[in-house]
Amino acid sequence: MVGKQTQQMKKGQQAAGTTFGSKRIGVESKESVVTPPSTSAETQLNRRPVGATPRRRAIPEGLWTKCRRCGELIVDKDLTVNLKVCPQCSYHFPMGARDRVASMVAIDSFEEMDAGMSSVDVLEFPDYPEKLTANQKKTGLRDAVITGIGHLRDHRIALGVMDFSFNGGSMGSVVGEKLTRLIERGTRERLPVVIFSSSGGARMYEGMFSLMQMAKTCGALAYHAKERLSFISVLTDPTMAGVMASFASVGDLIIAEPSARIGFAGPRVIRDTTQSDLPKGFQTAEFLKERGLIDAIVSRHEMKDRMAYYLDFIGSRAEGPRT
């Protein structure tokens, strides 16, 4: 199905190429206005009177997305159908937590936990409440993680998914508490835990309370492991700092999406501190897999099948009827 859509998308891209070409030679026809307007600076330079300010024809917002890697223009609807992966170069765009949950578990089986939990401004950090409200409005989430129990094929799993678009996926007390409750429920009900991380690190607005979440989540995972239950950690772009330095790096299996940036401090900080050049591809999933930190790199299209395979291997069949 995806293949067919990709084919259709490719046809659309070819058509787009034709229209761009005809514009360049000045034979633009008005009947097929299905492509975004050209932003070619060259064409516009010729038309613009001397001394006038550059005129930029904007691509309509919310209809097209430009691929950050190959520059391809992709219709937003097609991008969503293709799991936010560029059909041209397979660049993995950031994926929202709700879309991710829907891509992994049968959505009618998903029982969300602590959906209403929201942060409080315990340190009275300037502008933090406003920032929280703005992020809640922007994303439709209460905080940067969704947790719950759902069915992935035959397996009942405890699933946590972080969302980078909520304040950079930062881990404050709510993210830590929700994940800890998820892991503890996984331990009680003997479920494997799967967490998709996407985070810039600890939430500075909550200071020490954010840092405490690192120990809390890892503590809960230690009890989970003591019961001989499995934790699969999936690192998506980017997984950095306090999240990578705690629960995200202690999975029994650590999987990453292609080209995901993974690390503790950012490359600029490391370069400045060590006063040395960093190797090529530093802090990418591929670099870390080569060095043994990551077990597998799995593309988004394969993720569900591969996760089912791993869960089969672990042996965590759901009891009772499949939903």
89 binds Zn ion, rule: CB under 5 A: yes
- Judged by CB, which is closer to Zn ion: 72, or 257? 72
Min CB(9)–Zn ion separation in Å: 12
Residue 234's SS3 state is strand
Residues with Cβ < 8 Å from 33, sequence gap 6 or more?
none
Choices 59-67, 174-182, 217-225, 308-316 (CB under 5 A): range interacting with Zn ion? 59-67
Extended beta strands in 60-122, E state: 64-66, 73-75, 111-113
Helices (H), 56-172: 76-81, 97-104, 128-139
Choices 51-59, 70-78, 101-109, 141-149 (CB under 5 A): range interacting with Zn ion? 70-78
Query: Which one of 20, 91, 166, 310 is in contact with Zn ion (CB under 5 A)?
Result: 91
Min CB(10)–Zn ion separation in Å: 13
Choices 64-72, 152-160, 263-271, 299-307 (CB under 5 A): range interacting with Zn ion? 64-72
Is 60 in contact with 36 (CB distance < 8 Å)? Answer: yes
Min CB(319)–Zn ion separation in Å: 43
Query: Which one of 9, 35, 36, 67 is in contact with Zn ion (CB under 5 A)?
Result: 67
Residues with Cβ < 8 Å from 282, sequence gap 6 or more?
263, 267
Treating both helix axes as pointing N-terminal to C-terminal, what angle do 97-104 and 303-314 enclose, rounded to 10 degrees? 60
196 binds Zn ion, rule: CB under 5 A: no
Query: Which one of 13, 20, 35, 72 is in contact with Zn ion (CB under 5 A)?
Result: 72
Min CB(93)–Zn ion separation in Å: 9
105 binds Zn ion, rule: CB under 5 A: no
Tell whether omega for the bond before 238 is within 30 degrees of 0, i.e. cis: yes
Residues with Cβ < 8 Å from 50, sequence gap 6 or more?
none
Interface with Zn ion by CB under 5 A: which residues? 67, 69-70, 72, 86, 88-89, 91
